[in-house]
Chain A
Amino acid sequence: MSSKTKSKLEVTAIYLILAIVAVIIFYPLLWTIGMSLNQGTSLYSSSIIPDNFSLEHYKWLFSPQSDYLLWYKNSLIVALANAIGSVVLTAFVAYAFSRFKFVGRKNGLYIFLLLQMFPVMMAMVALYIFLNMIGLLDSLTGLILIYLGGQIPFNAWLVKGYFDTIPKELDEAAKIDGAGPIRIFWSILLPLAKPILAVVALFNFMAPLFDFLLPSIVISSEENYTLALGLYNFINDQFANNFTRFAAGSVLIAVPIATIYLFLQRFLISGLASGGTKG
């Protein structure tokens, strides 16, 4: 076999593998979309290519009987607050760890990273009682505060890794020109660290949208539900019965998120790789 045919065979094999993978990726996604367009609520009589094409589930989600829009709003509030808050908090923590000497600097972050690997389930019991004591149980504020506190170690570690790659000579030059620490932070480090801060913002915007466990424990009344919680409840009670409705609700959340992700993918990866590999 000549090397040319061999190469052609190889390329064909590569495309074949990629095609199989693509089918496996698309199948469940298309299936969900198909389900959401079926009439009726039964999974059994539904198929991936609907016999009776209908938008009834989408219409229902936007009708006054459903709380879907409210959940969407709640999720967006939590996600936005978490994204903004986490950038502010972690940027400051990372700045301290990257540029200053203080007690606990050397191992502080690592200790928190390790402590955080203890499973959260028992923390849930403690947080539940604690939130109850300070009156933040079943509120979005309580949920946001827990997300904010929990994200710090990992993200501060990422951002610190990025800050470390910014030459210290820049700070020193600014210091000679009379800039204080806040000024250096604001006009030197922050502009240069925009890519990693964007990654932190995006991750912390997405995390609450995807999370199911914490809201299921903290939130109990339906008007405070986040999307994950609300959608789960569509199928929680009678699995087969509301699946098509769940599918419609899922499509409406998955499409915008996937779009954002795909747009920002290159950005995401480069930020993550440069911060995470240099910590």
Chain B
Amino acid sequence: MLEVREVVKTYDGRAVVNRASFEVRPGEIFALLGPNGAGKTTLIRMITDILKPDSGTIMLDGRPVGGGLKHEISYLPEERGLYRRVPVLDVLTYYGRLRGLAGRAARAEAATLLERVGLEDWMLKQVQALSKGMQQKVQLCTALIGSPRLMILDEPFTGLDPLNVQLLEEVLRERRAAGATVLLSTHQMNKVEEQCDRALMINRGHMVLYGEVRDLKRRYADHALMVRGGRLPARVPGVRVVETVNGELKLTLEPEAQPRDVLRSLVDQGVELESFSHSVMPLEDIFIKVVREGLGLDQGQSGPPTADEPAAHATAQARGAAR
């Protein structure tokens, strides 16, 4: 679907995006993560053909972005606005027509979308009459109208109440089921864990994490087990430390110990277990850890990780930073 290869963008001699290479697969929800100032917005602007990269290529279905493919992409920027003195329906119809819909079809789809997000009673009102949350939903509709194949949403959850967050999640799932691809840029890591298939994290223009979300979490998982159940014996073979975390017991294992051996040992010793799972680090903790370790990154020090070896690359960078 979207293929970004060795893309570089430099401002005043500073690489804001440094050799970014990744791909977004058709029908997936892809997370673009990174701390503030990491280069996410610059990268998105290059994908949307608002900015041109200094070098590298950005292809959509094998063709360079821009030109005839512009209507295939929609973008909900983080800093967004609407024409304030125009009726809601007209705003959406305008966006729909720009994405290639005929006037009547654009109007019909705009009305359907407004109904979907619960704004059917407001479609003839001027945008300035809407509350901030309502305007946020209209802005979301501007990204949905015309059924673009790639939707780039920058912090779409900001400013929405829990009900509307749920609504947005449902809409994203619907679009995904209809074949659309979503590139989601957000700082809400729980949403990434819930919604996204794969993720890319960039820090100071460099790619630091890239891959399946569950793989990333697994790679950053502690060598530990989370256990809920009866009283543990004083010593469990293979377990180095036992601590209580949120009502569960966290068993940090010896480096060589295997989880299945520890489980067998517990069962053999007659411990009644209610639950047993790997200890997984939340994505937010991974984010903080990676960003903190990556603060010492030097530009040009590292190349981009491939999808096959993101963790190794990130670890190498972390080591470099520690040095």
Tell whether A and B belong to one assembly: no
Chain B interfacial positions (CB closer than 8 Å to A): none
Chain A interfacial positions (CB closer than 8 Å to B): none
